[in-house]
Amino acid sequence: MGIDALLDRLERRAVTAVTPDPAAAVTPMPAPCLGCTSVTSATAASHERALAGAQVTAETAGVAENAVGDTLPDRVPVAARVRCGDCRHFVEMKYPRLGRCALDQPAPERGGLFWAADLRVCAAFEPRPHWPIGARPDSSSRLHAWLREVSIETVVPLDELLAFYQDDLDALAAFSLDELRATVADYKAGRSEYRRLLERRAKSATGGTDEVVVDERVATRAVA
């Protein structure tokens, strides 16, 4: 072969596109999918494995969520809400259905006053007892008006005062307003003691088994 033919053959081989061997062909890398990363070989097999792993992870998470849900109670206990007007400590003001608390519980608004019909959570709530019906002053009498006024001033429930003094209304009617204030102030100072006496009296009147012990000293202090 002459030198010219050899040069011509080398020139043709230099500009001819080289077709790679099919066994060594490189498959284009698809975009990373769930479970695949940009640094891992993303083939059809690895893609299927990633999808299967994601499905198993989702199912496991669902089972765990259901397990947590099964351990929670169906109903979370909530503290019962009560009405101030049904409480034995509610002292009604001159304005209807507006009052204060005899235990000085803080009111959320209205300058320390409560609406009787308000629903609220209160740990100090005690239902209003059914006092035995006895003598009561006429609602239009001076004694009733003064007792209500003093009840509001001293923040002592009026029904409680009427029940405690039901046997001494004639003596109270002879008092001046200042004397009545001093008497009710004394009642408030020993209110817990007087309430126990009143409750024993109420149990006796309703057929209770507790023995009524009348403390002459307490009774004398209450009306003195």
pLDDT digits (tens, 9 = 90+) for 129-143: 877 777 888 989 999
**Which of 30, 66, 23, 73 lies closest to 48 in space, CA to CA?**
30
Backbone angles phi, psi at 91, to 5 degrees: -115, 110
pLDDT along the chain (224 residues), means of 10: 69 57 54 50 60 60 55 67 90 84 79 82 88 82 94 92 90 94 93 87 67 43 47
Asked if 88 and 74 count as a contact pair (C-beta separation under 8 A), the reply is no
Domains within the chain, CATH numbers bracketed = 78-128 (2.20.70), 131-224 (no CATH)
pLDDT tens for each residue of 10-52: 666 655 555 555 555 555 555 555 545 444 445 666 656 666 6
Q: In terms of DSSP bridges, do strands 98-101 and 119-120 run parallel, antiparallel, or are they unpaired?
A: unpaired
Three-class DSSP labels, 52-121: HHHHHHHHHHHHHHHHHHHHCCCCCCCCCCEEHHHECCEEECCCCCEEEECCCCCCCCHHHCEECCCEEC
Asked if 201 and 212 count as a contact pair (C-beta separation under 8 A), the reply is yes
Whats the size of the chain, residue-wise? 224
pTM of the model: 0.55
Asked if 134 and 128 count as a contact pair (C-beta separation under 8 A), the reply is no
